């Protein structure tokens, strides 16, 4: 049921404030994290996260959170690489497998490998009656509700929200942050659904930008820190929906090669919440502009006032505590892909060559 929306993708983008709030209500009670599984991060020295596609990008984002908030080392792998590389899995490893469907063949095979090596297996899934949920030691549902659109949207933000909650749990269990600090993070996390709701208002600005983006042959997305995986996600969504060639880069990598691609035909989407790395990202953005690149700057009002002079286009986001920015900045990334697909007339819910659940490798 599309409930009045033109596409499942539009419906699922719009549902995010509600599903995020419901999922958080499920896992946070009276300001405390309540998990339905017996998970104590003090039993682990490291975390390995494995997934495919958008779920992999949620893992890459979560690496920043686990490392910065809980000070626990994290490795992230693409499932198809992990399963055949057969990496050593040290004792006291928590292996987390993230999958909307819970059926992705490579992720499931990677899970079985980690299990055979004695790791403790946690799956983070949307479909609770799935092979991954069944074969794990513990499984946590992201509670996004049924996702029909092939392009993952609400499952991604719900994965992010739950993984951030797990990073906070890890921080408590390991004593990496004070109780007050963890509670303040939790209070901020609970404000994200309302901010996501507010950020859905950028639709019209994104629609305008999408008309121009639809004309491009190549597009770059740039971000630093936890916004780097978001740049990858923006590029993945745009590729799969509009068939335009898009790449995400860590802003600091620009001058190590990709800057050679910049000319006036290449739009560059800069994802720049006002965090500790804002000035660095902006200086990379200026290097792009100096070479004639067309910049689409996504930041909050103050960030755009500070750095928006001379850019091609801007998208103004609500202000947010930087740690939570990846959840919020997923919205313009999704909307840009959606509106570019509409402008190009491609099949939004069922892009060519793609399947919702990849059960063969």
Phi and psi at residue 48, to the nearest 5°: -115, 130
Which one, 229 or 303, has the nearer CB to ligand F6R?
A: 229
Tokens representing residue 15 in the block: 């549902």
* Euclidean distance between CA atoms 259 and 109, whole angstroms: 38
Catalog residues that contact ligand F6R under the rule CB under 6 A. Answer: 52-55, 99-101, 104, 107, 151-152, 236, 240, 357-358
The helix/strand/coil state of 218 is strand
| Residue nearest to ligand F6R as judged by C-beta position | 53
Q: Give buried/exposed letters for 1-15 (b at 16+ CB in 10 A, else e).
A: eeeeeebbbbbbbbb
Tokens representing residue 294 in the block: 């067309």
Which one, 169 or 237, has the nearer CB to ligand F6R?
A: 237
Cβ 163 to ligand F6R, closest distance in Å?
13
Cβ 77 to ligand F6R, closest distance in Å?
14
* Residue of 279, 287, 286, 325 lying closest to 303 (CA atoms): 279
Which one, 70 or 150, has the nearer CB to ligand F6R?
A: 150
Cβ 102 to ligand F6R, closest distance in Å?
7
Which one, 313 or 340, has the nearer CB to ligand F6R?
A: 340
Cβ 99 to ligand F6R, closest distance in Å?
3
* Residue of 139, 169, 148, 265 lying closest to 213 (CA atoms): 265
* Euclidean distance between CA atoms 269 and 254, whole angstroms: 13
Phi and psi at residue 300, to the nearest 5°: -90, 180
Which one, 69 or 132, has the nearer CB to ligand F6R?
A: 132
| Contact between residue 186 and residue 33 where contact means Cβ atoms under 8 Å apart | yes
Cβ 57 to ligand F6R, closest distance in Å?
8
**211 an active-site residue?**
no
The helix/strand/coil state of 204 is helix
Q: What does DSSP assign to residue 177?
A: S
| Contact between residue 291 and residue 265 where contact means Cβ atoms under 8 Å apart | no
Which one, 293 or 326, has the nearer CB to ligand F6R?
A: 326
Cβ 229 to ligand F6R, closest distance in Å?
13
* Euclidean distance between CA atoms 343 and 83, whole angstroms: 39
Q: Which residues are known catalytic residues?
A: 356
């Amino acid at each position: 049921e599309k409930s009045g929306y033109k596409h499942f993708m539009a419906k699922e983008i719009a549902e995010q404030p509600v599903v995020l709030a419901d999922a958080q209500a499920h896992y946070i009670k009276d300001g405390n994290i309540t998990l339905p599984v017996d998970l104590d991060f003090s039993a682990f020295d490291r975390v390995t996260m494995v997934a495919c596609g958008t779920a992999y990008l949620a893992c890459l984002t979560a690496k920043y959170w686990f490392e910065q908030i809980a000070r626990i080392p994290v490795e992230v792998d693409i499932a198809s690489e992990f399963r055949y590389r057969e990496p050593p899995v040290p004792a006291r490893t928590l292996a987390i497998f993230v999958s909307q469907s819970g059926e992705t063949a490579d992720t499931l095979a990677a899970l079985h490998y980690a299990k055979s090596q004695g790791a403790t297996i946690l799956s983070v899934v949307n479909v609770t009656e799935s092979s991954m949920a069944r074969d794990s030691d513990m499984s946590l549902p992201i509670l996004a509700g049924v996702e029909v659109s092939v392009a993952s949207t609400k499952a991604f933000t719900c994965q992010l929200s739950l993984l951030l909650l797990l990073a906070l749990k890890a921080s408590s269990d390991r004593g990496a942050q004070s109780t007050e600090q963890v509670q303040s993070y939790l209070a901020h996390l609970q404000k994200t659904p309302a901010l996501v709701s507010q950020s859905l208002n950028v639709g019209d600005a994104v629609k305008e930008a999408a008309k121009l983006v639809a004309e491009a042959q190549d597009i770059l997305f740039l971000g630093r820190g936890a916004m780097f995986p978001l740049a990858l996600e923006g590029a993945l969504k745009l590729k799969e929906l509009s068939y335009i060639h898009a790449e995400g880069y860590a802003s600091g990598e620009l001058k190590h090669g990709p800057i050679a691609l910049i000319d006036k035909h290449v739009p560059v989407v800069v994802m720049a919440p006002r965090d500790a790395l804002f000035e660095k990202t902006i200086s990379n953005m200026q290097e792009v502009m100096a070479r004639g690149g067309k910049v689409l700057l996504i930041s909050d009002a103050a960030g755009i006032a500070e750095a928006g002079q001379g850019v091609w286009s801007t998208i103004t986001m609500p202000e947010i505590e930087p740690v939570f920015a990846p959840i919020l900045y997923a919205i313009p990334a999704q909307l840009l892909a959606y509106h570019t697909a509409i402008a190009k007339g491609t099949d939004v819910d069922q892009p060519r060559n793609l399947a919702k659940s990849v059960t063969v490798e």
